[in-house]
C-alpha cells in the first residue's frame, strides 16, 4: 500500500498521543495496519506489547488478515487485534479473583439479560423490559453504579429502574455471570481502583491503536486512558462527522476530552478519499458543514466529478420500491458481466422500510441480502446446545441450567423447577447447587427426583472431563447421550429438522477445530462463543445479491451504486430526533449514507406515504435542500423533470425482466 504524505506522517509519528481524523474512505485501516508493521519492524516494539482495538469482529478480522500479509508469523506472534469486548474479557478472565469472580464466569446474551430484568419488573411487557434494559446499559456504559443512578434519578421511573439495576447486578453476581456491558465496565473499574493491576497492564500493552474513537462510550474511553497512562502512547483514529451511535451511549465529546486530557496530542487529518467521485464528496461536504464542527476537514478525490446525483420524488412507497428495483435491473442489464448485484445497495433509516423493497426484489427475481439477519449463534438449536456448554463451564449459570434441563424434555417441568427455585432463593444458591442437595431433592416426587438426578449425574460427568477432554469429543458425546437429533426429528417437520441438525453438526465441527487450532478447552470456548453473539460484526456470507441495509449497519461499507430511500422529514431526519432537537446526528447519518456510494448515488422520497392506514404528505428531507443544486438532478417533483408513472414503471420492469431472462437463457 502506497501511503499519501498525511497517512505516512500518521504511521511515523511516535512523539506521544496522536489523533488521526480519518474522513470517510480515507484509508484508515491501512494506516493502522501499516503502523503496526512500522512499530514492530522499524521501531522494535515486541508484537505482544501492541494492541489494536476495534468495535466489531469483522473489523478486527480484516485487520488481522492485512497484518498477516505484512509480517511473518514469528514477528506477529502475541499481537492483540480485537474488539473492546474481547480485550475486556481477556483482562476480566485474568483478574477475575480481584473482582470476586471465578475464571469460568458466564457471559449472558441480551435475551438472558432481558429475562432477568423482566422477572425483576414483575412480568411487564416486552416494551417495558426493553426500555429498562436499554437504560441500564446506558448507565453501565456511563460507568455509573446502581447507587449513583438512584441518587441522580430524575423521575420516579428512573428511580424504579435504578432499583431494578441493583437487583439485576446482584443476580448476575450470584450467577457468576456478566453481561456485554460488564466486559468493559468491570475492567475499567478494576484498573481505576487497583494501581498494581493497572500498572501491570500498562507495562504489558505499551502501545494502543484505537479505531472509530468517535464511537467510544465513557466506559471504553476510560479503559483506553487507564491502559495508556500519562504518557499516552496511542494512536486514536476517528471522524466526528461519522458519530452516529449516541443512542447506545457513544459520546463524540470524547474527542474533545482527549484534547483536554492530552494537551500535547498531535492531530493529523486524512482528507483524501479513495472511494467516491468528487461530486458525491462535494454533496457530502456541503451537507455536513451545517453541523457545528469539532474539527474542520474537507474530503476530496482524484476520481473526477462523476455522475450527477439524482433526487427522485416517487408517488408512494410502492412506486418508490418498484422504481428503485427497475433501475437496479436496468443497470445490471446494461453493465452485463461487469456489473454484479452485489454492486447495489438500498439504504434506509429504519428496518420497517425493508419489507416493501424485499417484495419488489422478489417479484423481479432479483437476489438480495438483508443486513443484520439472524446470527448463527442466535438460532434456537444452537442456543440449546450452547446452554449445556455454558453449564459445563459455570454451574452457577441459572439461565443455562433452565434451558438445558428442559431441552430435550426429560420429565422435569414447571412444578419441579418452581420448587427448586424456591429452595435456591431461600438459601441464596444457584439452581445447580440446589439440585445437588438432599433437602431440595426431598421436595420432589420420586419420579421427578430421579429425572433430575439423572440429569445432574450426566452434567457432573461432563464437568469432570471439561478441562482435559477434546471440545469436539465432549459435545459429540453429549449430543448422543441426550438424543438431540431425535428431539429435533420429533419436534420439527422433516426439512426443518434436517436444517437444524446440520447447523448443530456445523457447530460441533467448529468447536472441534477451535479446540485443536487455539488449544482451548470447552470452558474457554464457552466465553469466546458468547462474544460472537454481539449484534455488531456478525459474519454474513459473501453472495452476489443486492444489499438491503439500515444506514447504521452500512457504516464502513461501500458500493458502486447506492439508493438512499425514504429521504423525508419524519424519516430522515427521524421524528424523534426532530422533537428532541437532535437533528445533528441525523445529518451525520445522511453523511454516512452519501459517502457509501462510489460511482452513482440516487436519493428517493415519497410525495405521499401511508402510515397506520392514513395517507400522509411528507416534505422532502431538509438535507436535500442543503445539497448544491448544480450537482443534483430533481426528478418527479414540481419544477423538476418527470419520471415514469407507476403503470409505466411496472410495464418497464416486466420488459426488463423478460430481457434479462432471455439473456440468461
Contacts of 72 (CB under 8 A, 6+ apart): none
| Residue 118 assigned as binding residue | no
| Spatial contact of 613 and 607, defined as CB atoms under 8 Å apart | no
Residues in the chain: 665
Q: What's the CA dihedral at 353, 354, 357, 363 to 10 degrees?
A: -140
To the question of whether residue 22 is assigned a binding role by annotation, the answer is yes
How far apart, in whole angstroms, are the C-alpha atoms of residue 561 and residue 580? 33
609 is in an annotated binding site: no
Which residues contact residue 553 at a Cβ distance below 8 angstroms, ignoring those fewer than 6 apart? 371, 372
> Which is the catalytic residue, given 28, 37, 332, 500?
28
The answer to whether residue 407 is catalytic is no
Residue 29 appears among annotated catalytic residues = yes
473 is catalytic: no
Residue 492 annotated among the catalytic residues of the structure: no
CA distance 129 to 119: 9
- Please report which helix (H) or strand (E) contains residue 158, including its range: helix 156-174
**24 among annotated binding-site residues:** yes
DSSP letters of 411-438?
A: S--HHHHHHHHHHHHHHT--HHHHTT-H
Question: Residue 632: helix, strand or coil by DSSP?
Answer: strand
Burial of residue 643 (CB within 10 Å: 0-12, 13-18, 19+) is: middle
State the catalytic residue, choosing from 211, 320, 524, 568.
211
According to the annotation, is 537 in a ligand binding site? no
Q: Answer yes or no: are the C-beta atoms of 244 and 291 closer than 8 Å.
A: no
Instruction: Give the CA angle between residues 36, 39, 41 to the nearest 5°.
Output: 100
- Which residue out of 95, 112, 179, 212 is catalytically annotated? 212
Any idea what DSSP says for residue 377?
Answer: G
Distance CA 581, CA 220 (A): 26
Residue 26 marked as a ligand binder: yes
Active site (annotated) includes residue 216 = no
Catalytic residue among 225, 282, 383, 596: 596
* 335 assigned ligand-binding residue: no
Cβ contacts of residue 255 below 8 Å, gap of 6+?
Answer: 19, 213, 214, 238, 240, 294, 295
Contact in structure between 602 and 563 (CB atoms under 8 Å): yes
Active site residue 242: yes
> What phi-psi label fits residue 617: left (phi over 0), alpha (psi between -120 and 50 degrees) or beta?
beta
Report the alpha-carbon distance of residue 194 to residue 86 in Å, rounded.
21
Beta strands in 161-278 (DSSP E): 177-178, 207-210, 234-238, 266-270
The catalytically annotated residue of 83, 149, 222, 242 is: 242
C-beta separation of 53 from 209 below 8 A: yes
Residue set of the binding site: 22-29, 275
Catalytic residues: 28-29, 211-212, 242, 596
Residue set of the binding site for ATP: 22-29, 275
Amino acid at each position: 500500500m502506497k501511503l499519501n504524505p498525511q497517512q505516512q506522517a500518521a504511521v511515523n509519528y511516535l512523539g506521544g498521543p496522536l489523533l488521526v481524523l480519518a474522513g470517510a474512505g480515507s484509508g484508515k485501516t491501512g494506516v493502522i495496519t501499516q503502523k503496526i508493521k512500522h512499530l514492530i519492524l522499524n521501531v522494535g516494539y515486541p508484537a505482544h506489547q501492541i494492541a489494536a482495538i476495534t468495535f466489531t469482529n469483522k473489523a478486527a478480522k480484516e485487520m488481522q488478515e492485512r497484518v498477516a500479509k505484512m509480517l511473518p508469523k514469528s514477528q506477529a506472534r502475541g499481537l492483540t487485534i480485537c474488539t473492546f469486548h474481547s480485550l475486556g474479557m481477556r483482562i476480566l478472565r485474568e483478574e477475575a479473583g480481584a473482582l470476586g469472580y471465578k475464571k469460568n464466569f458466564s457471559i449472558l446474551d441480551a435475551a438472558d439479560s432481558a429475562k432477568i430484568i423482566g422477572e425483576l419488573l414483575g412480568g411487564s411487557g416486552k416494551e417495558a423490559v426493553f426500555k429498562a434494559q436499554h437504560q441500564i446499559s446506558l448507565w453501565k456504559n456511563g460507568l455509573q453504579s446502581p447507587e449513583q443512578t438512584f441518587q441522580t434519578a430524575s423521575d420516579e421511573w428512573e428511580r424504579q429502574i435504578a432499583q431494578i439495576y441493583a437487583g439485576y447486578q446482584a443476580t448476575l453476581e450470584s450467577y457468576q455471570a456478566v453481561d456485554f456491558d460488564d466486559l468493559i465496565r468491570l475492567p475499567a473499574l478494576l484498573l481505576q481502583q487497583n494501581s498494581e493491576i493497572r500498572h501491570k497492564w500498562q507495562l504489558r500493552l505499551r502501545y494502543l491503536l484505537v479505531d472509530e474513537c468517535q464511537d467510544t462510550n465513557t466506559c471504553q474511553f476510560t479503559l483506553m486512558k487507564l491502559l495508556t497512562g500519562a504518557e499516552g502512547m496511542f494512536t486514536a483514529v476517528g471522524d466526528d462527522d461519522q458519530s452516529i451511535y449516541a443512542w447506545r451511549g457513544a459520546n463524540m465529546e470524547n474527542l474533545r476530552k482527549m484534547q483536554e486530557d492530552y494537551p500535547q496530542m498531535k492531530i493529523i487529518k486524512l482528507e483524501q478519499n479513495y472511494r467516491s467521485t468528487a461530486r458525491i464528496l462535494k454533496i457530502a461536504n456541503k451537507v455536513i458543514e451545517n453541523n457545528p464542527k469539532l474539527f474542520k476537514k474537507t474530503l476530496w478525490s482524484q476520481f473526477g466529478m462523476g455522475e450527477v446525483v439524482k433526487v427522485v420524488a416517487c408517488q408512494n412507497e410502492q412506486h418508490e420500491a418498484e422504481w428503485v428495483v427497475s433501475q437496479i435491473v436496468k443497470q445490471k442489464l446494461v453493465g452485463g458481466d461487469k456489473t454484479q448485484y452485489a454492486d447495489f445497495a438500498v439504504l434506509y433509516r429504519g428496518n420497517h422500510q425493508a419489507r416493501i423493497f424485499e417484495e419488489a426484489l422478489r417479484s423481479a427475481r432479483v437476489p438480495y441480502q438483508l443486513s443484520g439477519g439472524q446470527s448463527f449463534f442466535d438460532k434456537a438449536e444452537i442456543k440449546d446446545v450452547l446452554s449445556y456448554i455454558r453449564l459445563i463451564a459455570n454451574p452457577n449459570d441459572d439461565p443455562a441450567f433452565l434451558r438445558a434441563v428442559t431441552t430435550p424434555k426429560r420429565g422435569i417441568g414447571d412444578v419441579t423447577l418452581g420448587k427448586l427455585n424456591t429452595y435456591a432463593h431461600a438459601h441464596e444458591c444457584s439452581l445447580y447447587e440446589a439440585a445437588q442437595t438432599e433437602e431440595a431433592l426431598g421436595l420432589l416426587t420420586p419420579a421427578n427426583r430421579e429425572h433430575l438426578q439423572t440429569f445432574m449425574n450426566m452434567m457432573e460427568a461432563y464437568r469432570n472431563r471439561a478441562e482435559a477432554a477434546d471440545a469436539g469429543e465432549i459435545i459429540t458425546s453429549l449430543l448422543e447421550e441426550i438424543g438431540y437429533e431425535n428431539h429435533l426429528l420429533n419436534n420439527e417437520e422433516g426439512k426443518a429438522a434436517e436444517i437444524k441438525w446440520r447447523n448443530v453438526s456445523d457447530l460441533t465441527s467448529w468447536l472441534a477445530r477451535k479446540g485443536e487450532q487455539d488449544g482451548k478447552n470447552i470452558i474457554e470456548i464457552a466465553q469466546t462463543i458468547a462474544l460472537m453473539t454481539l449484534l455488531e460484526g456478525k459474519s454474513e456470507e459473501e453472495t452476489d445479491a443486492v444489499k438491503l441495509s439500515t444506514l447504521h449497519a452500512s457504516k464502513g461499507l461501500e458500493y458502486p451504486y447506492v439508493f438512499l430511500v425514504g429521504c423525508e422529514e419524519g424519516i430522515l431526519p427521524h421524528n424523534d430526533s426532530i422533537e428532541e432537537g437532535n437533528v445533528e446526528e441525523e445529518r451525520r447519518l445522511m453523511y454516512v449514507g452519501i459517502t457509501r456510494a462510489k460511482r452513482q448515488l440516487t436519493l428517493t422520497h415519497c410525495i405521499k406515504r401511508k402510515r397506520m392506514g392514513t395517507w400522509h404528505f411528507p416534505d422532502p428531507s431538509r438535507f436535500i435542500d442543503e445539497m448544491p443544486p448544480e450537482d443534483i438532478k430533481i426528478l418527479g417533483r414540481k419544477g423538476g423533470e418527470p419520471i415514469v408513472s407507476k403503470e409505466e414503471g411496472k410495464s418497464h420492469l416486466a420488459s426488463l425482466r423478460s430481457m434479462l431472462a432471455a439473456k440468461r437463457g
